[in-house]
A and B are shown apart, each in its own frame.
Chain A
């Protein structure tokens, strides 16, 4: 079976690589809708529409176009235009997931003994596409 090391991954926002990324994750999910009714012998259910959420962690560089796009969307009150997210597991193929996202926050922290970091939680807008070549 194939194994993919995290250090080989990357992530782009709007076609621009996010600088200094140390982690990203994406969770796709569908809400569970319980359909159990009286008299049933076990729980039954269905799934609602798909959605997703995730997080990008990087060392802060506001001069980086991708990081800037995420932060600028959060510090203004403009109607947001979803950003194109591509999370790459391996550039061979490539093996990646893509979707449109809206960042929901940017948590920036500076601490003695660490690099200044930024963490971007996001939610997906529309479908998530997996490409595994």
Chain B
């Protein structure tokens, strides 16, 4: 059976993909949707992810993404802004490069999915009987502090303002192509300093909606 070393994991704010993504079919100038596929292409593409296409310097931002491979293996349909910039559009099989969404300097992450127990034992029963209520998940990410990292900054800024919070897309990765993804609301950012140690920051979070396995 497989075992996964912690050092191979990562925590990501947004989507995460592996493989060699390519544009499927020619895409015309100004188009705002495309299908991306490629050998070994897997993972999830989330709104807010950014990517570039070979031969086009424009950075595009994903509006709607999805699970790579659902329903067609190694393939995902995306919408994005702005529309395709080059006059000739994108050629079939142009290479696509997704920007990394990794939180820098992560040493530890943890996620717990749970369902409250509802007891259904009634008089006359010989042993306790139970069922489960709605799913919930929460967790923690610990990293070496770097507020200059955009993803750590997003976590810290989200708990350091009084704005109505927007859930952050997250992927917790055990190994390449093996991850759990969902949305979360950060609850706190605990920054620690101690003589003789590096600065650390720890983020507790509450899941918003489902936590979904993606195991390829």
Contacts and interface: CB of A to CB of B under 8 A. Distances in A.
A116 B129 CA distance: 32
A62 interface: yes
A113 B174 contact: no
Contacts of A115: 3-6
Interface residues on B, range: 35 or more
A61 B6 contact: no
A125 B135 contact: no
B135 A77 contact: yes
A49 B126 contact: yes
Contacts of B198: none
Interface string B181-193: 0000000000000
A67 B130 CA distance: 21
A127 B215 contact: no
Interface in A1-59: 19-20, 49-52, 59
Contacts of B127: 49-51, 124, 126-128
A113 B212 CA distance: 26
A89 interface: no
B201 to A, nearest CB: 15
Interface string B106-129: 011111111111000100011111
B131 A80 contact: yes
Contact of B114 (A51, A104, A110): A104
B108 to A, nearest CB: 4
A14 to B, nearest CB: 16
B62 interface: no
Interface in B85-143: 107-117, 121, 125-132, 134-135, 137
Nearest to B11: A110
A108 to B, nearest CB: 5
A125 B128 contact: yes
B55 interface: no
A133 interface: no
Given A111-B6, A116-B4, A126-B127, A105 B180 contact: no
B111 A112 contact: no
Given A59-B4, A105-B113, A108-B110, A75 B210 contact: yes
- Which 4 pairs of residues, A with B, have the shortest CB-CB distance? A105-B114, A51-B128, A19-B1, A110-B9
Given A19-B2, A71-B113, A106-B113, 20 more contacts: A20-B3, A50-B127, A50-B128, A51-B127, A51-B128, A61-B3, A61-B4, A73-B115, A77-B134, A77-B135, A104-B117, A107-B110, A110-B108, A110-B174, A111-B107, A112-B7, A112-B108, A124-B128, A125-B131, A128-B127
13 contacts: A19-B1, A49-B121, A50-B127, A52-B128, A61-B3, A74-B135, A75-B212, A102-B132, A103-B115, A109-B111, A113-B6, A116-B4, A125-B131
